[in-house]
Amino acid sequence: MADNAPAIVILGNGGLATARRIQQVLPAAQVLGLEGRVQGADHAYAEFGATLRQLYQSGAPIIALCAAGIVIRTLAPLLQEKGSEPPVLAVAEDGSAVVPLLGGLAGVNALAREIASALQVPPAITTSGELRFGTCLLNPPAGYALADLEQGKRFVSDLLGGETVRIEGDAPWLGTAQLPQATDARRTIHVGHALREPAVDELLIHPRNVLVAIGEAGDGLADEVRAVLRQAGIAQPSLAGLLAADAQMADSRVHQAAAQLQVPVRYLAASDSATRLTQTGLALQVLPGPLSIGVAARPLNMTRIGRPRGRLAVIGLGPGARELMVPAVQAELARATDVLGYETYVRMAGPFRDDQVLHNTDNREEMQRARHAFELAAQGRSVVMVSSGDPGVFAMAAAVLEALHEVVDDPAREDWRGVELQILPGVSASLATAALAGAPLGHDFCVVSLSDNLKPWSIIERRLDLAAQADLVLAFYNPISRARPWQLGQALDIVRRHRAADTPVTLGRDVGRPAQALRVVTLGELTPEMVDMRTMVLVGSSTTCTFPRADGGQWVYTPRWYGSKP
Ligand code: SAH
């Protein structure tokens, strides 16, 4: 249930100052700048239309610093399919106008007010009900849920038509609203958790004030929860969340039930469900039944109850450039509470918010870093472990799994096993280098790290010899370093035994980073001095070939066929 961070989209440097002012009141928001036009945004994007449409479809709130018309024309093709709509606003580049455009039910007006007050201008609110009553009745604040939207719309137009209203129950956010209240009104706003059919003249709003502490999780857990709520006479939208036992953290049936019910799960130590309700420390009215139900007087803030299931994501940043980082990784970085990794990569993954804790560690202590990640995640934090390229290619994913494997039977480490572990891929250096050069990996290839830090040199020699013999294209990671100066020379000697001197070799240095350099040489020309630890080496096979590019360089590719051309 990752919250979608708002995107502030700008087209030129002129909008950057306004974007940063908006970011001060919306710290989770990211500034997206048009590539080549904006310097110093949090992310670069290549194409305005595609970016805006993608954000809209992913449900991210959009704050576009450009003319309202541009935003309208760009999103128009998507507006037919009226599903859930994120807030969309146009803001004048100089901050002089804030115009909510879409997402009335997703709180666009509230967002407009917040941004406008930061920019010290009045928001351009156009929603009649909102203007008249100072609040959107159809969009109650967090902690409350509207029972029926269609009925709500009729209700609001009745009030706009001159009907008066009474409030039943506790609706503190309506205290400051300018509603036409009257004690003898026929229309009522009813706030309560009781299961009831809304009367014709009633706007029914449910507070999210009910907890269900679950017992043994079965396959039909969500249905079971629905049934006990019904039996207890409680409306399902009043369910704020589930309480499970720490021992159930890894139980997928619990996660599935929570997803089906669209509520969070929080964990407490007690295995007995009734005791778990007591452990919340809240004043709850406890209802007896097959599952323990606790009812609070006010909506519940689930983030303050028990602890969440911790999460550890091992992510790959790609070679460097933001555009080559997969969207799932970008989303993961936004939701992280803690970021671990080698300092260079942690810096590359930034910028981070003030509330995100960065743990920079030395590159060599991999296992220690992996254990540290589990310790943090087991406390319920959302931890990201960063690697460059892909995390599974000579990087942290295997170390993290090894750390977990070591404790797989350890009863004291049940908390680590409860962590939600996910590995998110990235574009590996060999693939990024190959794409720059053309398609040198277009046929079978073999990936070898030339580092003998964690494996004997003899095994590297053997693998090189056999792979070269098998006529595989070779991708060398960690080709050379100050501590390993001679290995590359020896590796090339082995390869040259099986491969012609005119075999194309692609060298990619700092690919996807500002200092990116690509060079194509032949195996005969290649010397270790051309290579350093930031270089990827792709040695061609017998079929790899080159030809001139229009811009002066060379294309390198390995054809899809082998043997003779089909
Ligand atoms: N997990 C990483 C690889 C880590 S090993 C990945 O999937 O890309 C480190 C080696 O990768 C370096 O010694 C270098 O050979 C290569 N490498 C990593 N990033 C690179 C880049 N941006 N350009 C060229 N080579 C790179």
Q: Which of 126, 158, 179 corresponds to the end of one domain?
A: 126
Task: Write out 439-458 in H/E/C secondary structure.
Answer: ECCCCCEEEEECCCCCCCHH
106's tokens:
């997703």
Q: Is 425 in the pocket of ligand 1 (CB under 6 A)?
A: no
Q: Is the pTM of this model over 0.85?
A: no
Would you state the pLDDT for residue 107? 85
87's tokens:
């807030």
Q: Which of 396, 427, 458 corresponds to the end of one domain?
A: 427
Residue 114, domain CATH = 3.40.50.11220
534's tokens:
């930031």
Query: Tokens 């091992």 correspond to what residue?
Result: 314
CA of 429 from ligand 1 middle (Å) equals 5
Q: Is 53 in the pocket of ligand 1 (CB under 6 A)?
A: no
Handedness of CA 214, 219, 221, 224 (dihedral sign): negative
Q: Is 440 in the pocket of ligand 1 (CB under 6 A)?
A: no
Would you state the pLDDT for residue 173? 86
Q: Is 320 in the pocket of ligand 1 (CB under 6 A)?
A: yes
CA of 451 from ligand 1 middle (Å) equals 12
pLDDT tens-digit map of 452-502: 999 999 999 999 999 999 999 999 999 999 999 999 999 999 999 999 999
Q: Rounded to whole angstroms, how far apart are CA atoms 204 and 155?
A: 10
CA of 478 from ligand 1 middle (Å) equals 7
Which amino acid residue places its CA nearest to atom 6 of ligand 1? Answer: 389
HSE (side-chain half, CA atoms, 13 Å) at 417: 15
Q: Rounded to whole angstroms, how far apart are CA atoms 307 and 465?
A: 53
Which residue type, as a one-letter code, is found at position 483? A
Q: Mean pLDDT in runs of 10 for the chain (566 residues)?
A: 76 94 90 91 90 89 96 90 82 96 87 94 88 82 88 88 91 85 91 89 94 89 95 95 93 94 94 91 86 94 94 97 90 92 89 86 79 94 96 97 96 93 98 98 98 95 98 98 94 97 98 95 97 97 97 95 88
Q: What residues contact residue 564 under an 8 Å CB cut-off, 6+ apart?
A: none
Q: Which phi and psi (to 5°) does residue 144 adopt?
A: -135, 150
CA of 393 from ligand 1 middle (Å) equals 9
Q: Rounded to whole angstroms, how far apart are CA atoms 166 and 163?
A: 10
The percent of the chain in helix, strand and coil, each rounded to the nearest 5, is 35, 25, 40
113's tokens:
């007010």
Pairing of strands 265-268, 88-91: unpaired
CA of 386 from ligand 1 middle (Å) equals 13
- Please tell me whether residues 461 and 547 are part of one structural domain: yes
Q: Is 506 in the pocket of ligand 1 (CB under 6 A)?
A: no
Please calculate the CA angle 204-3-383 and round it to the nearest 5 degrees: 140
- Please tell me whether residues 184 and 114 are part of one structural domain: no
Would you state the pLDDT for residue 1? 30
Domain of 533? Answer: 430-557
- Please tell me whether residues 240 and 195 are part of one structural domain: no
Q: Is 513 in the pocket of ligand 1 (CB under 6 A)?
A: yes
Burial class (CB in 10 A: 0-12, 13-18, 19+), 549: exposed
HSE (side-chain half, CA atoms, 13 Å) at 207: 20
DSSP for 177-223, written as a single string = S---B-TT-SEEEEE--B--PPPTTEEEEEE--EEEE--S--TTHHH
Which residue type, as a one-letter code, is found at position 221? L
- Please tell me whether residues 160 and 221 are part of one structural domain: no
- Cα 85 to its chain centre, rounded Å, is 19
CA of 533 from ligand 1 middle (Å) equals 8
CA of 52 from ligand 1 middle (Å) equals 32
Would you state the pLDDT for residue 257? 95
Q: Is 390 in the pocket of ligand 1 (CB under 6 A)?
A: yes
- Please tell me whether residues 437 and 423 are part of one structural domain: no
Is 288 in a helix, a strand, or coil? coil
Residue 255, domain CATH = 3.30.420
CA of 452 from ligand 1 middle (Å) equals 16
Q: Rounded to whole angstroms, how far apart are CA atoms 174 and 178?
A: 8
Residue 521, domain CATH = 3.30.950.10
Contact 221, 256 (CB under 8 A): yes
Ligand 1 atom with the smallest distance to the CA of 533 is 13
Q: What contacts 24+ positions apart, CB below 8 Å, involve 488-492?
A: 488/450, 488/528, 488/531, 488/537, 489/528, 490/461, 491/450, 491/460, 491/461, 491/464, 492/523, 492/526, 492/528
Ligand 1 atom with the smallest distance to the CA of 476 is 15
Q: Rounded to whole angstroms, how far apart are CA atoms 562 and 345?
A: 39
Q: Which of 451, 477, 487, when mutated, tests ligand 1's pocket best, judged by the most ligand atoms within 8 Å of its CB? A: 477
Q: Which of 303, 333, 368 corresponds to the end of one domain?
A: 303
HSE (side-chain half, CA atoms, 13 Å) at 545: 7
Angle, helices 108-119/16-25, rounded to nearest 10 degrees: 110
Q: Which phi and psi (to 5°) does residue 447 adopt?
A: -110, 125
Is 161 part of a structural domain of the chain?
A: yes
- Please tell me whether residues 240 and 323 are part of one structural domain: no
- Please tell me whether residues 532 and 507 are part of one structural domain: yes
Provide the number of structural domains found in the chain.
5
Ligand 1 atom with the smallest distance to the CA of 430 is 8
Task: Write out 135-172 in H/E/C secondary structure.
Answer: CCCCCCCCCEEECCHHHHHHHHHHHHCCCCEEEECCCH
- Please tell me whether residues 434 and 553 are part of one structural domain: yes
Which amino acid residue places its CA nearest to atom 2 of ligand 1? Answer: 389
Residue 398, domain CATH = 3.40.1010.10
pLDDT tens-digit map of 83-119: 678 999 999 999 999 999 998 888 898 899 999 999 9
Query: Tokens 């595989």 correspond to what residue?
Result: 472
Would you state the pLDDT for residue 2? 38
Which amino acid residue places its CA nearest to atom 20 of ligand 1? Answer: 429
- Please tell me whether residues 337 and 416 are part of one structural domain: yes
- Cα 116 to its chain centre, rounded Å, is 28
Is 1 part of a structural domain of the chain?
A: no
Contact 338, 359 (CB under 8 A): yes
